[in-house]
Amino acid sequence: MTVIRMENKNMNVIEELKGAHIVGITGHIRPDGDCTGSTLALYNYLKKNAPDMDVSVYLEQPGIEFSYLSGYSDIKNTLEDGREFDAFVVLDCSSIDRIEPFAAGFDSAKKTICIDHHISNDSFADINEVRPDASSACEVLYDTLDEEKIDKAVAECIYTGIIHDTGVFKYSCTSLHTMEIAGKMMQMGIDYSDIIDNSFYKKTYVQNQILGRALLESVLFYDGRCIFSSVTRDEMDFYGVTGRELGGIIEQLRLTEGVEVAIFLYETGDNEYKVSLRSKKDIDVSQIAVSFGGGGHVRAAGFSAKGTVHDIINRIGAMIEGQYSKIQD
């Protein structure tokens, strides 16, 4: 397989897909705002500007909070048996195992493309447009599109992805270029205020209940510079929530005064946890996540791990202490 990493010149996605008739698009498992936004942005862009292409989006079903996006109802949750693709595009995904439900489509495609912003990306496609300095996959995707061919439907998707991966422009990954793109999307007439409120901030009553419980049972450690909380499967069953509905907890933990690193775990199996990490200025949480087989960004990362909460937190804590020791040296 020939791997090309674009560094000095932006890919033009239409040019890369020239001659392709059957095109598949996918993103990572448990799709978030950037994954959903980037995949549907490309889908809507191709539907409008390459009408002869047979384009499909394959994702685990995104949250209902993204149902305002054009193409949401067209998302396919399963891959058709035996379907072969002229091209298969993966967005917001750093490794092939993160598209596992749809890997057969990727494997059968004549050409594969990855558009991503994760520093841990291992360039697994034929063509890789990977920009770790970008705020989001939507930002990287935007730079592969012809600006004059972007319509309101595409703009809503791109804006959604950007606000979700920047925490509504709060995270350090936000750049001047990020803000310029967001401004251009706003000029397309999108209802940016509603997008922020309804897809990012709005929580159900049950989500607020389990958030309150997680905050009440959170623990400060490392002289108040770190905080963690966890939710068990029994607690999730009691409140009737899934992992997808726990996304706001890590952000609220991160906002705790004096905290540099926030850690949130939720149980996925017997002594198995999905772990989210956030930091503010000093600690590179992507290094920690990669050591557990996960990935992400300097200030936001995640992984899955086996063991007790106590064991996992102790291992993370040792790595945080190691990074602090290097800073002090």
Which of 165, 197, 186 is CA-nearest to residue 296? 165
For domain 205-328, which architecture applies?
Roll (3.10)
Q: Do the Cβ atoms of 110 and 137 come closer than 8 Å? A: no
**The pLDDT value given to residue 328:** 77
For residue 329, the model assigns a pLDDT of 66
Distance CA 271, CA 253 (A): 23
Structure confidence at residue 276 (pLDDT): 97
pLDDT by residue (tens digit) across 207-223? 999 999 999 999 999 99
52/318 Cα distance (integer angstroms):
55
- Regions in the chain scoring below 50 on pLDDT: 1-8
Domain ranges of the chain: 4-200, 205-328
Q: Is the pTM of this model over 0.85?
A: yes
pLDDT at 93: 95
User: Is the separation of the CB atoms in 103 and 90 below 8 Å?
Assistant: no
* Fold held by 4-200: inorganic pyrophosphatase (n-terminal core) (3.90.1640)
Question: What is the chain's mean pLDDT, rounded?
Answer: 94
Sequence-distant (≥ 6) Cβ neighbours of residue 319 within 8 angstroms:
287, 288, 291
